[in-house]
Structure 1
Amino acid sequence: MKAYRKYISLFFLSLTALSCKKFLDVEPRDSVSDEQTIIDKTSANTALRGVYRKLGSDGYYGALFQTFGYLPGDNVQWTGSQSVIQQFITHKINADNGNLQTVWAAIYATINGANNVIAKVPGLQDATFSATEKNQAVGEAYFIRALSYFDLARTWGNVQITLTPTLNASDKLDVKGSTQAQVYQQVLSDLNAADSLLQPPSQTPNPVRVNQQTAWALKARYYLYQSDWAQAEAYATKVISDTRSYSLLKPYSAFFSPASAIATKESVFELSYSATYLSGHRNYWQPPANGGTRQWAPSDAFITLVNDPKTGGNRNALVAKTSAGLWYGNLYYRSPATDPAYVIRIAELYLIRAEARAQLGKTDLAREDLNSIRDRAGLTPVTELIGKDDLLLAIENERRIEFALEPHRWFDLVRTKRAGAVLNITNPQLYVFPIPANEVTLSNGNLKQNDGY
């Protein structure tokens, strides 16, 4: 019987991996306008795949946007030759930085793809396309649009909101910029729409596809950023409670190693790649000996922390060293470069809930969540009764190591108003990036450059 169960488990694991690959391996017809492609169920699914492709592109979660979350923090040092990267680490970002423009364009391309699905799928007349399937497709597009505007808001603050399809980038030139608060309000509106349309994990169990609990997870993050602790706790709990779909894997490396580890129960939402659809992220981290360029590497301070058994535990799997003694990040290491992009992990939900509970004065429960993360990392639990401030600092430090090579550290320090104390960045104008100079120039005066740039 045990052997039988083992083979059944392996079968479903293989089926999940196959479905991840199948979903994104179908080539979207990006060269054909959406007016022609979204005409029935098949073309709607093709368009939706295209939106996921845009989300996972090298300019967005495939590589460059992720760097915005860790390069300006304290876990990474510049080791390459590209000055556009150095600007983020030194917090001296020029408005004409090429990576700014690339990421900005990639996010708005993702939004436009989502807008096409949202606008056109509900009205399709296709007897094979059920109302439930249409709702699921549109819900996925709403979620992706919400995530896109969330990333725009926390990176740039005041940006343009476009909710209808455009044929080219110039179509939004006459759209006035919105405040960061207005952009965040649009995020919540889109998440509420997604929540009402998406199927639960029992119907959409694959973490490379958005389901209802994916929306709950992003809501938990959204409310954390808004300091709405009660809602952050509530939505994190809704996701954590589904232990059939999500769990903290042991050891820490189990969600990314071995190379066959994809779409694990650690992931609430990840983006998958394949031999015909590669991720560019690994190239920046891996050393030349492994076929990479090592444009950046873990900082000396982080190397010390992650290799200390009392702070890093088994999370030292995040780093490796060459025969020449050079340290490098090893979360993205596969060859060919099929490493997933980890957009939301269940570990984040535990630490969101821990922080929210600490802020609400539920210190015992907050400590339990913190210790769940520490236990998985092979660390001793925090048992002593500590005050709120010390507990929040312990959670901050845990997040620093847990998500060191993912896009969190910089945004965490900004949202908690700790960038000054930790990084000595005391000018709040630097807490958002400059809007790409070209976008300001072409906006007909509708998009204002952020103060200080």
Structure 2
Amino acid sequence: MNKLLVLFSFLLLTGCKQFLDVQPEQQVDESQAITNASTAEAAVNGLYNRLGNDGYYGSNFPALSYLSGGDVQWTGSQGAPQEITSRKLTADNGYVGSGWSAIYRTILAANYLLETVPPLNDPLLTADRKNQILGEAYAIRALSYFDLARGWGGVQLILKPTYTPQDNTGISRSSLDETYAQVLKDLTAAEPLLGNTTNRNRVTKKTVYALRARYHLYRQEWDKAEEYATKLIDDASYKLVKPYSAFFANNAVNTTESVFEIAYSNSFKNGHSNWWLPPALSGRREWAPSAQLVTLLNDPKVGGNRKELIAQTAPPGNLWYGKLYYRNPIGTDPAYLIRIAELYLIRAEARAQLGNTTAALADLNAIRDRAGVPLSTASTKETLVQAVEDERRVEFAFETDRWFDLGRKGRIGTVLNITDPNKYVLPIPNSEILADKALTQNKGY
């Protein structure tokens, strides 16, 4: 059987069942092996589709953060999301299984590119183009392992393709430090392979800089976090747009706000709007902003013009809903992975931790000025770090941030009153434990 067909057949057999509808996972026939420039290009396009799949950034992985973080409520009747919001998460949860499976499918697609592209001999596949493809694969694998680390802790490091069901089994989980070390290794490998161009839908060297800034923030490596955030902030290609809604309203795409966003279309749809919009707008509104978040966003001193993230249905319902994802045709909204606003807040936090409070305040106030809220007067390390946390809460209200932001700072228990520290990470899906005896469960599940 063709190698690529074996790979994806295996993944479909052993992966967890998708909770939401399965998206197109490549733009070409997955049974087509990578043998020349054309099939290599098709495979790298497929890698981005994996990243944007419903199980990953198209829906379920962000939902794990939304529904865990306390500012988004579940209004439907299905059990899997209800488990998350009620703090009764189990290892059989469909959202967890879908997210885990989709991330590993992305990793294995990257692995296949990393192995098969270097030896290809096709005059249409130049050395520079090969390097670009390999850099993209390394960077997306890095992002995938980063997301596994912040969600599940240390995981199995699978760094080679899967050709048969026996491949890549029996691998023990690495520690959290080892998993993060692999993220840095992949980002370091990606950087020299990529061009220093601006592309908001594909990985470039600049995307790697942004991912490095985020990585170093999570690792509390403040000097490096500041250094890499500055690379983007000082680049004229990236600017905060005004007002806040300008990066998403009126069908905007690829604005100067965006560092990396995933593009969707009629044939490859983003699942978010289905879950955020009310029935009157062709959605199901089963994710909804909490009353507390609605209050914050509507407060002129907190949300400012970020109130455009939410709207209310007409009477008698008067239901609040999120409108970051809203487009017609439905499902064609971008997924926002990294915005320049995040780099400002990464640098603000890093500078505060380094004691450079004046510069930290300037970065924080750049975000507050754009939001049209009063400028902060925080002047100590402690007050600035807390101010940045508060700002991130409303700035990235419907992006993949709140739960992981609290987790990296050790504040889940304090803020969300979750007293069992075992619940600060997600469970490994039971189906994966059963499929591979070397894979151990997180404590408490």
Quote the residue 1:10 is aligned against. Answer: none
Quote the residue 1:300 is aligned against. Answer: 291
Give the residue type in structure 2 aligned to 1:437. Answer: N
Q: Report the count of equivalent residues.
A: 419
Q: CA shift at 1:206, angstroms?
A: 2.1
Quote the residue 1:18 is aligned against. Answer: none
Q: CA shift at 1:172, angstroms?
A: 2.5
Q: 1:353 aligns with which of 339, 347, 352?
A: 347
- Which digits, 9 at most, give the CA deviation of each residue in 1:127-149, with x for residues without a partner? 12211111011000100000000
Quote the residue 1:19 is aligned against. Answer: none
Quote the residue 1:340 is aligned against. Answer: 334
Quote the residue 1:393 is aligned against. Answer: 386
Work out the CA distance in 2 between the residues paired with 1:160 and 1:391: 37
Q: Structure 1: where are the runs of 5+ without partners?
A: 1-24
- Which digits, 9 at most, give the CA deviation of each residue in 1:371-411, with x for residues without a partner? 000011011212x3522111111110000000010010000
SS in 2 for 1:172: coil
Work out the CA distance in 2 between the residues paired with 1:421 and 1:176: 32
Work out the CA distance in 1 between the residues paired with 2:200 and 2:318: 37
User: Which shows bigger deviation, 207-216 or 386-395?
Assistant: 386-395
Quote the residue 2:400 is aligned against. Answer: 407
Q: 2:275 aligns with which of 262, 273, 284?
A: 284
Quote the residue 2:176 is aligned against. Answer: 180
Tell me, yes or no, if the aligned pair for 1:140 and 1:194 is still in contact at 8 Å.
yes
Work out the CA distance in 1 between the residues paired with 2:265 and 2:28: 18
Give the residue type in structure 2 aligned to 1:240. Answer: I
Tell me, yes or no, if the aligned pair for 1:30 and 1:50 is still in contact at 8 Å.
no
Tell me, yes or no, if the aligned pair for 2:304 and 2:371 is still in contact at 8 Å.
yes
Q: Do structure 1's residue 29 and structure 2's residue 22 form an aligned pair?
A: no
Quote the residue 2:66 is aligned against. Answer: 70
Quote the residue 1:145 is aligned against. Answer: 141
The change in CA–CA distance for 1:442 and 1:26 in structure 2 (over 3 A counts) is closer
SS in 1 for 2:337: strand
Work out the CA distance in 2 between the residues paired with 1:26 and 1:129: 23
Quote the residue 1:369 is aligned against. Answer: 363
1:11-50 equivalent positions in 2, closer than 5 A: 28-33=27-32, 36=33, 38-50=34-46
Q: Do structure 1's residue 267 and structure 2's residue 258 form an aligned pair?
A: yes
Tell me, yes or no, if the aligned pair for 1:147 and 1:187 is still in contact at 8 Å.
yes
Tell me, yes or no, if the aligned pair for 2:146 and 2:180 is still in contact at 8 Å.
yes
Q: CA shift at 1:170, angstroms?
A: 5.2
Tell me, yes or no, if the aligned pair for 1:312 and 1:377 is still in contact at 8 Å.
yes
Quote the residue 1:252 is aligned against. Answer: 244
Give the residue type in structure 1 aligned to 2:439. Answer: L
SS in 1 for 2:259: strand
Quote the residue 1:228 is aligned against. Answer: 221
Q: CA shift at 1:179, angstroms?
A: 1.3
Tell me, yes or no, if the aligned pair for 1:57 and 1:106 is still in contact at 8 Å.
yes
- Which digits, 9 at most, give the CA deviation of each residue in 1:30-88, with x for residues without a partner? 4315xx2x111111111000000010000000010011122111211121111200111
Q: Do structure 1's residue 85 and structure 2's residue 77 form an aligned pair?
A: no
Q: 1:313 aligns with which of 264, 285, 304?
A: 304
Q: Do structure 1's residue 447 and structure 2's residue 434 form an aligned pair?
A: no
SS in 1 for 2:321: strand
Q: 1:109 aligns with which of 91, 105, 110?
A: 105
- Which digits, 9 at most, give the CA deviation of each residue in 1:85-126, with x for residues without a partner? 011122221101112111111111111111111111111111
TM-score (norm 2): 0.92
SS in 2 for 1:332: coil
SS in 2 for 1:148: helix
Tell me, yes or no, if the aligned pair for 2:213 and 2:229 is still in contact at 8 Å.
yes
Tell me, yes or no, if the aligned pair for 2:276 and 2:287 is still in contact at 8 Å.
yes
The change in CA–CA distance for 1:332 and 1:219 in structure 2 (over 3 A counts) is same
Quote the residue 1:127 is aligned against. Answer: 123
User: Which shows bigger deviation, 173-182 or 56-65?
Assistant: 173-182
Tell me, yes or no, if the aligned pair for 1:82 and 1:295 is still in contact at 8 Å.
no
User: Which shows bigger deviation, 161-170 or 318-327?
Assistant: 161-170
- Which digits, 9 at most, give the CA deviation of each residue in 1:147-181, with x for residues without a partner? 00000111111211111111356533222211111
Work out the CA distance in 1 between the residues paired with 2:388 and 2:99: 30
Quote the residue 2:203 is aligned against. Answer: 210
Give the residue type in structure 2 aligned to 1:276. Answer: S
Work out the CA distance in 2 between the residues paired with 1:427 and 1:52: 36
SS in 1 for 2:283: coil
Q: 2:413 aligns with which of 410, 420, 430?
A: 420
Q: CA shift at 1:26, angstroms?
A: 12
Runs of 4+ in 1 over 4 A off after TM superposition: none
Give the residue type in structure 2 aligned to 1:422. Answer: V
- Which digits, 9 at most, give the CA deviation of each residue in 1:405-425, with x for residues without a partner? 001000000111111111111
Give the residue type in structure 1 aligned to 2:249. Answer: S
SS in 1 for 2:250: coil
Work out the CA distance in 1 between the residues paired with 2:119 and 2:177: 32
Work out the CA distance in 1 between the residues paired with 2:165 and 2:366: 46
Tell me, yes or no, if the aligned pair for 2:378 and 2:384 is still in contact at 8 Å.
no
Tell me, yes or no, if the aligned pair for 1:66 and 1:407 is still in contact at 8 Å.
yes
Work out the CA distance in 2 between the residues paired with 1:410 and 1:276: 31
SS in 2 for 1:143: helix
